[in-house]
Chains A and B, each alone.
Chain A
């Protein structure tokens, strides 16, 4: 029975996936090899989509594999099999250990543990942002020289009948990418501050995400547009 196989496979993934999505992905990769319909290519696509759609990556991947293997029932069965261990463990923990957390000595230990955990959260936020910049960062350390070299390339190096050469094009894309990143960041910060001034309360996280998406759509195509314009000028 395909459903029982899905349940067992994803239940095991659920038990073993300590430490969030990035622990679960390799486990689900292993499981996916049990099913002929899931090709490697498909799985790579699945992972990319799971990482960007809402919801936890591990849950999304389970839904994907389940849906591909056995339609809607498969998706539901795989997803719930995967979250069952997490659900059960926390339930048992909540029922059995809630009083333990109120113990003075345990509370003392927790007061040491908490700042470390918040440190991890902070680091995740910073590195998420940093990873948007980094593949390109080193290039821009000498920004002034860099911009000059680009403008030289555009003005001098480009033959009239040929588009901007591939390398310069790549470089320019990166440059506009960083520019977009900065613009969107500033816009989000400004909106948060204005919102607080006007409504006298914190802007909700959900609203900030929606704003991010809107700014992304508005300014996302900016780099390509600018390049088109520049190559027009060069002609």
Chain B
């Protein structure tokens, strides 16, 4: 189990291009769709937690999933697994290949990779929201929230408005808490 955690997260670390959100897609593939280590809901909860605590999402996820599977040892194995590829690759680049972005073939490969990453992130988001809507009795509300947050965050990204994603995550959490206080009794019955 420890070894599986390590190798799975090593693989995830190796293919995480384009920051934390690219990795979300790969984690969903490897840990949920293939291995059923955690549920979809748990996964999105985890993203909320990971985004509102310090540190890279990659590390947060490895720690959580590792702990769920094999307690402390598991979380250590998964975390080391996810950062080890970076350490090895960056170290080699730092020593031998400082100019590596200037090679034409590397630049071309990254052009393709950026497109691929954008596509897998959108695909993951589609799968997750489909899952949310199918399993909920508040379909309309969920759809509206999803569309609203997509648009708001998109606008912020595009116009380089200086609002950190943390602020948005916290506003979503605030909304959730307020809704649960105001609507909980009505909706549960």
Contacts and interface: CB of A to CB of B under 8 A. Distances in A.
Give the interface size class of chain B: 35 or more
Nearest to A52: B110
A95 B72 CA distance: 10
B110 A216 contact: yes
B109 interface: yes
A226 interface: no
Given A55-B16, A60-B86, A220-B112, A122 B150 contact: yes
B84 to A, nearest CB: 9
A119 B145 contact: yes
B29 A216 contact: no
A118 B90 contact: no
Given A20-B20, A54-B85, A212-B112, A118 B54 contact: no
> For the complex, would chain B's binding face be called helix, strand, loop or mixed by DSSP majority?
helix
A117 B28 CA distance: 15
Contacts of A49: 90, 93, 100-101
B179 to A, nearest CB: 5
Interface residues of A, number: 97
A57 B72 CA distance: 25
Given A108-B187, A111-B176, A202-B29, 19 more contacts: A17-B56, A49-B93, A63-B91, A75-B91, A79-B87, A80-B83, A86-B60, A90-B53, A114-B45, A115-B142, A116-B146, A117-B47, A122-B126, A123-B151, A126-B154, A212-B114, A212-B115, A214-B112, A220-B107
Interface of A: 14-24, 45, 48-60, 63-64, 67-68, 72, 75-76, 79-80, 82-83, 85-87, 89-91, 93-95, 101, 104-106, 108-132, 134, 180-181, 184-185, 188-189, 202, 204-206, 208-209, 211-217, 219-221
